[in-house]
Each structure stands twice: as structure tokens, then as C-alpha cells.
Structure 1
Amino acid sequence: MTVQTAQDIDRTGFVQAWEEWHRQKEEVLSGPHGFLAITSLRWLSPEPARFDDAPGAWSTTDEGIVVDLAPDEELTVDGTVVRGRHVFGVIAERASVYAGAGDALIEVAKRGGHDIVRPRHPGNALRTAFTRTPTYAPDPRWVLEGRFVPDAEPRPVTVGAAVEGLEHVYDSPGRVEFELNGETYRLTAFNGKTPGALSVLFTDATSGVTTYAANRSLQIGPPDADGRVTVDFNRAANLPCAYTDLATCPLPPTENRLPVAVEAGERIPLERGGAA
């Protein structure tokens, strides 16, 4: 891995790379079945329940998540049309499976130990009205050299969630240290989306002012042989809960509340009253 600093960066290439990163993120968010397409968040119980935005009566049982479909209802699961009673089985924590229902997808998942169903409809007004996410202009000065300090053993860290009363537990392999304005800061890191990569949840002095109050997320590439990492706050990203109340996003660990203003990355969404 090559660790970059502001002095190393070609500004034109840097801006183009940032624009492509942001374009791809917006594309996923606003896709036909992205988070903006979610129409409800249903918490399942042993008592079968029907919902107006998904076919079937849904429940959680010893077999896992089950749906009972009426004679005129069907779902498509793994390319196969299913009718009657269908057992999705026990879903792992933070995992999701999807069932097709016309042009909609029904997300079947587990979050914070609870079985949930989240229908995703392309015509949802939040999605069709979406235009863009406001951001700070990309600035190489917010590309910092950091250092990953591993723990002797991964440690479980319990954090809150955007849904009151819900908790998430993540394994933390260590901390990321970096300097800003002559001060050293440390952020608890979780495992990232690819092997060796890191993920950081944080707030800062802009949170609730120009950036979303609850959290932002930063993906960090694998450390090099000396533990060095690139901390690029230009890619500080909103989580889905910044746009919709139908997300169960984790909150940052208490120690990840930075006392400085990180004026980089994504800002408060327009849907939450953010400035254009």
C-alpha cells in the first residue's frame, strides 16, 4: 500500500478520483433498490403479520424468518418463484437476503439481534425526489498520514444505533492515530469491507451544524508494512440513517467524538434540511 500526503497529490487526478468515488456512492444510494427505496422497517415477532408494502404474512420462528403467502401471492427467491409457506431460515447478524415482488425487493435481515423486513420500492418518493448529497469541496489538505496501532487481540465494542434501544457489536482490531493541527487523535477502528481494510465511525465539531449529527463513516485501506495508513477525510461519508429513519446504522464509539471541525466529506443531506 502507498500512503499519500497532501504534498504527493496531483490535484487534478485527486479531484477526478474523488468525483468518481462520490458518483459511485450516490449511484448505490439512489439505485432502484438502494436505501432511498425503502418504504418501511418491520420488526418481526412470532405472531404472523401482514404489511401493506410486501406480500405475505411474516413471522420469526425457531426455523428463522418465515413468510406465508396467500394463493394469489408469490415471491422470487434466488431466481425461483415460491408460493405458500417459505422458510428463509436463520439470518446471521448484519446479513440480508432479498426476495423479488414485482419491481420491488423485500430485504429479509437481522439487525441488533432482531429479525426485520424492509421492502424496497423503486417508486418511493424519497428516491424519486433525490438529486444529490451536498459535500465540502475535495481538498488535499484533508488527506492525512496516519498509523494503525493493533490491539493484541480483537476486542468486541458495543455501540448504539440510529434506532433507539438497538445495539450493535463489532470487533475492533485496533486504533488509527493521526495528527491534525499539531494534536494527535486516536479513533477506534472496525474491520473494513475488504480483508485488511479498516472502517471508522466518528463525529466532530461540524456534526449537527454542517454535517449529519449522528455519525459519519470513513473507509481506510490496509496498513502498509510499517502500519502507515492514509486517512482521507474527503471521503467521510453519510450512512443511510442520514437520509431515512428506516435505517439501523451504528453510532460511533464514545472515544470517536473528535473535538475538531472536520470540514471535509459529505454534509447534511438536503432531505434533512441541509444547505445546497
Structure 2
Amino acid sequence: MRPRAEQRGFALAVSIFALVIIAALITGIFFAARQEMKMGENSLSAQQAFNAADAGISNAIANWDMGWNNLATNGTATFNGSLPSGTGTYSGTVQRLNPQLFFVQVTGTAQNSLATRTLGALSRLLIMQISIKGAVTTQGSLTIGGSAFIDGVDTSPSGWACPATSDTMPGIATGDSAGITTSGCSNYSCVQGSPKILNDTSITDSTFLKFGDLNWNSLVAMATKVYSSSYQASDFAPVGTATTCTTSVQDNWGDPMVPASVPGCSNYFPIIYVNGDFSAQGGYGQGILI
């Protein structure tokens, strides 16, 4: 038989070994929990960075800076911003690849700056295609009176930097010339073009409702000035300074004058929609009236 003292020593060794095993298990559990927490933090940071980059691209496209349309091919512009929740920031560039295609690249950064994510997207301009058949294109009746003059000759305004003039167009293009009436304009002396009157049976409803990839409703949705029916404009004029244009003023239609009275509005061309009849008396401006 072993002595009693030796048995007590063996039990002590076993107890110490068991404590070491338990301590190792506890340490392993804490380590695994710590790793799990780090993985969660990393996943959160990665998601925040992705959300910031995605928001940057969405904001750039949804709030397209019209100045980017003036970029030369391969030209770039920069922008930046942050998420409203404060969970990330983003910075990006817009590069023009060709007249219609842009490449938008955005890098998003997580709130703790421990993760970044870069996303890219292609954006294409929808260029409105208008079937211009004459200085005036009409499907219905047309009455010309007073001092009105219709000119199909392309002429560059004095002082404007314009491309070379194009060929002379018909003065009036219509599906039925019988619908044209004049007052004090014998032999269509108030119309100039080649020819003065063009009968074109291809002029249909789609001529006035379809513009390439855009339709009438799309064009109306793009309007920057909207007026109710039977609107009468009076003394509308540009509002701004030498460097800025106050586009929020409803009757500010830009400045077509050379030299401009309000230089800041020289490049402002609003899209103007009147839901009904429209008449104007006095004032001046520029833009697209639909």
C-alpha cells in the first residue's frame, strides 16, 4: 500500500491540472467571444462603408449637377458628402467618357474610418431628339397676323459664340397647308424659308409627343417653371447678379441679351410648362416653352 501522504499529493496534482484545463477553457471562450465581437464590428464597418458609397452614387445621379454636362470628354469633377445619420462619409468623381456617357466613382468611409468601399456606375444622358421639320411645325390650323414673321433661315445672334449655321429650313411644316390663314401677309410675305410652306404627311401626333427616349410626360416632369392654365406673363425679366442667377423667381427666364443685363443668367435656360393658354406682353427671356 502507498503511504497516505503520497495519495494526498496525487489528488493535489489532479486538482491543479483540472484548474489549468478550466482556465484554458474560460480563456478560449473569452477569446472566441472577442473574435466574434471583432467580426461583428468589422461587418458593421464594412456595411457602413458600402452604404456610404451607395448613397454617394445615388445622390450624385438623383441630384445631377448640370455643370457636369459641360465637361469635356475625359474631363472630371469631384463631389463629397455624408450620410444624414452620421454613420459614414463619401467622396467621388464624375468623368465624362463621351458626349452621352459618364462614369461615377464613389469611395465610402465608415464612421470609425476602419473600412472603405469603392463603387462605380455608368450614367447616360437622355438627349432629347426633336423632329424639327420647319421653323414652325404644326399639325392643326395656324393663323399668322399682326407683325409676326416666321423665318427658317439659321442666323447667329450678334455677339453669340455659335457653331456654323445650318441649312435653311422650311418656314412652316404642316400636314395640311389649307389650315394656314394669314392677315396682311399676301403670298406668305411674312414667311421665309426653303420652301416657305412644306406639306409633310409624316407629321403626326407622335411628332409632338415623342422625343427620342423621352415622351411628353417625361418632358413635363423636367419643367423648371410651371404655370397654371390661362397664364399671362407681363414684364418678365432676369433676376440675379454678375455671377449668380436667382432661378427661384418665377418670372426669371434667363438673359438672352448681348451684352447681358444680368450676366449670371446668361446660361440659364428654363423648361417652361403652361397647362393651358399662354400669353406674354413685355419682358424678355430664353428657354424651352412647352
TM over 0.5: no
Q: Which has the higher contact order (CA 8 A, sep 6+)?
A: 1
The TM-score range, normalised by the shorter chain, is under 0.3
Q: Which has the higher helix share?
A: 2
TM-score by length of 2: 0.21
TM-score by length of 1: 0.21
Q: Which has the higher strand share?
A: 1
Larger Rg: 2
